[in-house]
Structure 1
Amino acid sequence: MTSPDDDAAPAASPAPETYPDRVYRSTGGIAGGVLLLAVGGWLGIDAMIRGEGRIPWLALAGLLCAVPVVIAFTVRPAVYAGQDRLLVRNPFRTITLPWASVEGLRAGYTSEVLAGGATYQLWAIPVSLRQRKRAARQQARAASEDPFGSTSAHVAAGRAEEDRRAPSDAAIGDLREMAETNAQREGAQGAPEVRWAFEVIAPTVAGAVLLGVMLAIG
């Protein structure tokens, strides 16, 4: 006969809980970039098809130079915040920052992260002074709506939980909280890593060189 101890299987350790990365991008920037690409592509392709002489070559060089730049400044920027690191994708660089290396985050006229003694701008989280002023007015209005305290406790609690910050300030606040929460994780240790986006730089330089040559030979 088997003893009860033999039948009892060792309890499996629970798998570590994982969460998807938070992604921050500028919706307005992406929309503007797509519009610029559509208009520029239409004009450039039309010039390449209908143009005469060196016009098609100038249009090709212009597209080769301009399209990567537009993509770099509008569609490419993104911020990915995971449990172990903050990945910042700027127009011409990709910065990987383990949470332990993050020294601070701030949103003044631009959104920035301080890490490893350097400051990196967060292109994907633009600061809008208009939205910030609107949020300040909403906060002031909420504070003055009930000066005599007649609002019920339930409604007051709901209003307290409502986030009236500007989107950029709310995003920076969330990133600060993640940095404080995850900085001690084993996988969050390490130094910042910076990689240049040669997939954007190379075609831009090639297009600029071709455009310069075409203009020089007139």
Structure 2
Amino acid sequence: MTTPLVKDRIYRSPQALIGGVLLLVIVLWLGIDALIRGHGRTPWLALAALILIVPLVVAFTLRPAVFAGEDRLRVRNPFRVITLPWGEIASLRSGFSNEVVVKSGAKYQLWAIPVSLRGRKKAARQQAKSEGDARRGRTGSGAGGAGRGLGGFGGFGGFGGFGGQAAAEQADGPTRAETDKVMDDLREMLESRGPAESAQGEVTVRWAYEVAAPAVAGAVLLAILLVVG
């Protein structure tokens, strides 16, 4: 039995999961209340709205996920599942959204790994703070060295330790947003697994009819009820 070279990883958005659960609770609470207490067409309208809205909430919040395996990357978006062998991926691109680009030129958005501009700004502030601490540490080390010449090794040791700690923090690399770190991990997997023979193949796309069909049925039913009056 062979041990996989790369352990499967699953990436999802915690914020989307929490938001999706809250939305489902609100929608189901309002919809079920209308079904039970509504009069005339209200229960039917509530039923049609539930059939339409619930699949859409699930599709855009709970469903998206990225599965990174040894031989392929599987992207589960709201209405499609894209299976991409590592050998067919040309690049993983980050801009206003995170995307995977295949060698044929096709692009697929990674819904489960959204770009967080707020996270990038926070990481930039942390990076600036770390650089400031490192500069102050280096300045302190120089002052400590002068202090030792005037009459104390202890002062030099204290400042030197602070400067060394700041330098060690800087050695860990620049601070980055969480989703950017995820993209870095995927790029490393692409680089290591892309040339592997087992990671070659064709890109496949499957439509999620189990999500789209109920939403379409709910939209059609709601339209009929509104037109009939």
State the distance in 1 between where 2:164 and 2:69 align.
Answer: 36
> Is 2:175 the counterpart of 1:164?
yes
**Percent identity among equivalent residues?**
56
Report whether the alignment pairs 1:216 with 2:227.
yes
1:108-147 deviations in whole A, cap 9, x for unaligned? Answer: 1111110131111100011111110111121122122122
Q: Deviations over 1:58-90 (max 9, x none)?
A: 100000000000100000000010110000000
Runs of 4+ that moved beyond 6 A: none
Cα offset, 1:21, TM superposition? 1.2
Asked if structure 1 preserves the Cα contact closer than 8 Å seen for 2:59 and 2:78, the reply is yes
Partner of 1:104: 91
Residue 152 (structure 1) shift? 5.3
Going from structure 1 to structure 2, the CA distance change for 1:23 and 1:163 (only over 3 Å counts) comes to farther
Q: Measure the CA separation in 1 of the matches of 2:4 and 2:221.
A: 52
Number of the residue aligned with 1:40:
27
Q: Structure 1 residue aligned with 2:41, among 20, 36, 54?
A: 54
Alignment of 1:21-170 (within 5 A): 21-115=8-102, 116-147=104-135, 148=138, 150=141, 151=162, 153=164, 156-161=167-172, 164-170=175-181
TM-score by length of 1: 0.88
The CA distance in 2 between the partners of 1:27 and 1:76, in whole Å, is 12
Query: 2:82–2:203: 8 Å Cα contact kept in structure 1?
Result: yes
The answer to whether the 8 A contact 2:134-2:163 is kept is no
* SS at structure 1 position matched to 2:201: coil
Q: Say whether the 8 Å CA contact 1:107–1:168 is kept in structure 2.
A: no
Distance 1:58 1:102 in 2: 45
Per-residue deviation at 1:172? 0.7
Q: Distance in 2 between matches of 1:17 and 1:106?
A: 26
Pairwise CA distance, 1:16: 3.5
Offset, 1:18: 4.6
User: TM (normalized to structure 2)?
Assistant: 0.84
Unmatched 5+ stretches in structure 2: 142-161
In the alignment, is the contact (CA less than 8 A) between 2:85 and 2:200 conserved in 1? yes
Q: Deviations over 1:158-213 (max 9, x none)?
A: 54226621011111111000000001222210121111110000000000001111
Aligned amino acid, residue 62 of structure 1? A
Q: Number of aligned pairs?
A: 205
**Is 1:207 aligned to residue 218 of structure 2?**
yes
Kept after mapping to 1: 8 A contact 2:74/2:82: yes
> Unaligned regions of 5+ residues in structure 1, if any?
1-13
The whole-number CA distance in structure 1 between the counterparts of 2:107 and 2:200 is 19
Deviations 1:81-110 (A, max 9, x none): 011000000001110000001111121111
Displacement of 1:155 in angstroms is: 5.7
